[in-house]
Structure 1
Amino acid sequence: MTTDECKQVVLDIIADIAPDEDLSNVKPDVRLRDQLQLDSMDFLDIVMELRKRHGIEVPEADYQQLASLDSSAAYLTPKFNAQKQG
């Protein structure tokens, strides 16, 4: 999976948990919570959906890795790719 595909996975999840958000202008290098109306419960929903839909576990200690689209892709892309090999 490419980093762009990974970013799209995160955006798809956000679109499902926050359907009123306009995701067309999300800046990849800015914290998602600074751009969107996401609270801590929404953030937990993102983590839960990653596990439910894709089998990706994100330990609480790594939550800050999901702050922006860029950091999410950098963190998640190797996890997706390792999963495919397993």
Structure 2
Amino acid sequence: DADFSLIEPDDRFRDVLELDSLDFLSLVELLSERTGVRIDEEDYPELATLSGAVGFLVGRTAGRS
């Protein structure tokens, strides 16, 4: 139900979308499922913003076939 059009590259997802910790975990699980990238708990801080998430995912998928 979140309006992702409101998010700027460096906005924190949890603030803009008013996510609690379970909502954020669901977002992380969805990103992992849709991209096929393993996301460990220590990676969560990198996923706090749109630009951070993109950088993380691109870095993990670069060179994959």
Instruction: Say whether the fold is shared (TM-score over 0.5).
Output: yes
Q: Does structure 2 conserve the Cα–Cα contact (< 8 Å) formed by 1:26 and 1:35? A: yes
Q: Report which of the two has the higher share of helix.
A: 1
Gaps of 5+ in 1: 1-18
Q: 2:7 aligns with which of 26, 32, 48?
A: 26
Q: Root-mean-square deviation (CA), in Å?
A: 1.4
* Per-residue Cα deviation, 1:33-62 (whole angstroms, up to 9, x for no partner): 111121111111122122322211111011
The TM-score normalised by the length of structure 1 is 0.65
> Which residue is equivalent to 1:39?
20
Runs of 4+ off more than 4 Å: none
Identical counterparts, % of pairs: 38
Counterpart CA distance in 1 for 2:38 and 2:51 is 18
Q: Does structure 2 conserve the Cα–Cα contact (< 8 Å) formed by 1:32 and 1:67? A: yes
Gaps of 5+ in 2: none
SS in structure 1 at match of 2:37: coil
* Per-residue Cα deviation, 1:2-61 (whole angstroms, up to 9, x for no partner): xxxxxxxxxxxxxxxxx2x22212111121111112111111112212232221111101
Aligned length: 65
The TM-score normalised by the length of structure 2 is 0.82
